[in-house]
Amino acid sequence: MSINSCTDDYRVLSIQSHVVSGYVGNKSAVFPLQVLGFEVDAINSVQFSTHTGYEHWKGQVLDSRDLLTVFDGLVKNDLHKQYTHILTGYAKNESFLESVLEVVNTVKQANPGAIYLCDPVMGDNGQMYVPQELLPVYKDKIILIADILTPNQFEAELLTGIKINNDSDAIQAIDALHDLGIPTVVISSSNLSQNSSHMVAIGSSRANGHKERIKLSFPKLNATFTGTGDLFAALFLAWFTKTNKDLKTTCENVISTLQAILKSTYDYAVQQPGGAKSVKNTELRLIQSRAQLESPQNNIKAIELV
């Protein structure tokens, strides 16, 4: 495995949510990508005061016209031709999501080598938190043009119709997604660990002309965090590129980084009024974690699956 440190020509178009205060969506993805050497251009699918876990939040949901107006300004200046990567996450509006397809296809026509990572943000723990109408758009259109897909366990079940109760089910679901033409699929978090204090990530890639499957187990913390899936997707896109599509090292770097940031956030939260139960206290401490972003300690190891 070699690390590609030359990221001068890497530019990501990131389309996902924005919050004024806190870290989810683009606020969770842009800074880590920049720290790792990637230029990032961000388009926001929604603009909220905070994420919706707060007692009060306000903001706007962008639609298809909003997205295409902004993107058309990029196209008219030929700026869409510079994107080497596309990252998409949370969208709340069906028409907006439909137009993401047009944006990705336009970028890929201009630069056929552009890598598209789709984080199909729909829900978690058995509950959808976007309109049901978004599922068929993801399932029948968006994911079919993805190079990398990073669903959580619940989202993988929605996309495949396969109930995931064990590792075998997870691999079956991943293979079903491979069969749709998606080269790299990672279930970013699942409750498949035999130890209830841990979670599991399972990934599979056919991106380098050979099959690679890995599994990682990592500890839970006694708190609820937001923006972790968005951070996972951004870190995966960066490290998969920097390691020349080495799935094992990428996942180790990503999970190790995430765990370090969550531990730092938790340690901070428990010292504040309200402790780790406070939504405000558990906002990811990304700025304070720059060292961990740049140089993961890689203390969580993946095992290879056959």
* Cα dist from 248 to 77, 212, 213, 252, whole Å: 39, 8, 8, 6
How far, in Å, CA of 278 to CA of 97, rounded?
Answer: 32
How far, in Å, CA of 204 to CA of 195, rounded?
Answer: 23
* Cα dist from 140 to 21, 75, 129, 282, whole Å: 34, 26, 19, 36
Length of the chain measured in residues:
306
41: annotated active-site residue? no
CA-angle at 18, arms to 14 and 22, nearest 5°: 120
Catalytic residue among 119, 147, 230, 246: 230
56: helix, strand or coil: coil
What is the separation of C-alpha 298 from the centre of its chain, rounded to a whole number of angstroms?
19
User: b vs e for 163-181, b when ≥16 Cβ sit within 10 Å of the residue's Cβ?
Assistant: ebeeeebbbebbebbbeee
Q: What is the DSSP letter of 191?
A: S
How far, in Å, CA of 11 to CA of 164, rounded?
Answer: 35
What angle do helix axes 167-179 and 153-160 make, rounded to 10 degrees?
50
| Cβ(189)–Cβ(220) below 8 Å | no
Among all residues, which ones are annotated catalytic?
230
